[in-house]
Structure 1
């Protein structure tokens, strides 16, 4: 799941350390793709409450992703999207399965916004309140010592507030292209971008009818999981 979809499950949580932990795996990956954290190995050293809360959020992120990626909802929709876009990507280096996966997650974020299930402004304001000393401690305990690089990325992420742009379906294609460019230098031609945009806009409109089912399903699982 993408940033706002993860935030959905803690949209009423006013603890900035827990909230940033919920999206920290993706923030770290975006700040520097080579960083690979295994924070469960350092759990014994999280004796500060705020550091511990960051780890709580991290674990919640992993749990949500595991539930989502193993769900019938994910499998069915990614397969359907893949089938629709595969002919368009015939001469593209981008893998249809990867594009379908990312497109679905971006569409879900967009629908959460347009259906007023989350507010991007609220998300960013909570992130801005995080205890930076605790976050720096968490990162350093997990061998991320170039914390200046991370915090520069975090500040730019909050200032840009680009997630709110997902309200417009055409912007989802822009975000999809940017993500794919991290792997392939030129994933899509201009014609392919136009074709993909048309397919994704149509698919998102159909998805609107029942997209909340997966959020309700995962939320129910989280509420019944005492470890969460």
Structure 2
């Protein structure tokens, strides 16, 4: 799941460090895909650091349930099939595109149906002290936390997730993600065709998308 879908399950928490932990694995992946940390079983003397670890573990559990669900397997496969002819000639793997596309569409639906408040999400991140985050990263074995903070500070400043309310920005987000692997993943025509497909697919799951959140919520209890 993507950032806002992870936030959905703990949108009422008052612990900013737990909220950060629920999205931190993906933030680190965005900052530098070579960063690999495994703090799952660590325990620190600082309660806030332990909250990050608890949030981290919640992230892993939600992703486990999501990626094994019939919802994800069905819709990522269907999107792969529909997007494949739209990106003919692109180096991007259709399976990868279908996987990421359904996650971004879900974030869009959460925003447009007022299921989450993006400002509240960013306020949580802003409330976390850099020193505490740095303590966590060093405790988890990260040698150069500054690599993360360079990305993280811009992530907070840009409020980029607010753009997910516009479906054409989902295409742009897909492009940005693909550019981590392929330098020129799509032509303008690819992007237009992808947007048309994403708009139609979003509408097709409008009435059923919340089922995956109910399913995972039940598994988390």
Instruction: Provide runs of 4+ in structure 1 moved above 4 Å.
Output: none
**Which deviates more, 15-24 or 32-41?**
32-41
Unaligned stretches of 5+ residues in structure 2? none
Q: Given that residues 50 and 131 in structure 1 are in contact (C-alpha distance below 8 angstroms), is that contact kept between their aligned partners in structure 2?
A: no
Using structure 1 for the length normalisation, give the TM-score: 0.94
Alignment partner, residue 10 of structure 1 = 10
Equivalent residue, structure 2, for 1:166: 164
- The answer to whether residue 152 in structure 2 is matched with residue 148 in structure 1 is no
1:71 matched to which residue of 2? Answer: 69
Report how far residue 142 of structure 1 moved.
1.9
Counterpart among 174, 177, 183 of residue 175 in structure 2: 177
* Root mean square deviation, CA, Å: 1.1
Q: Report the CA distance between 1:35 and its aligned residue.
A: 0.6
SS in structure 2 of the partner of residue 40 of structure 1: coil
Native 8 Å contact 2:40 2:56 kept in 1: no
Specify the alignment match of 1:35 in structure 2.
35
Contact 1:136/1:147 (8 A) holds in 2:
yes
1:208 pairs with 206, 209, 219, which one?
A: 206
Name the TM-score, length of structure 2 as normaliser. 0.97
Native 8 Å contact 1:18 1:53 kept in 2: yes
In the alignment, the residues of structure 2 paired with residue 219 and residue 16 of structure 1 have an alpha-carbon distance, to the nearest angstrom, of 20
- CA displacement at 1:40 relative to structure 2: 2.5
Per-residue CA shift, 1:88-147, capped at 9, x if unaligned? Answer: 223111000100111110000000000000011110001000132221111001221322
Q: Name the stretch that deviates more: 3-12 or 142-151.
A: 142-151
- For the residues of structure 1 that align with 2:24 and 2:66, how far apart are their CA atoms? 17
Structure 1 distance, partners of 2:130, 2:49, is 10
User: 2:24 matched to 1:24?
Assistant: yes
1:18, 1:57 within 8 Å by CA — same for their partners in 2? yes
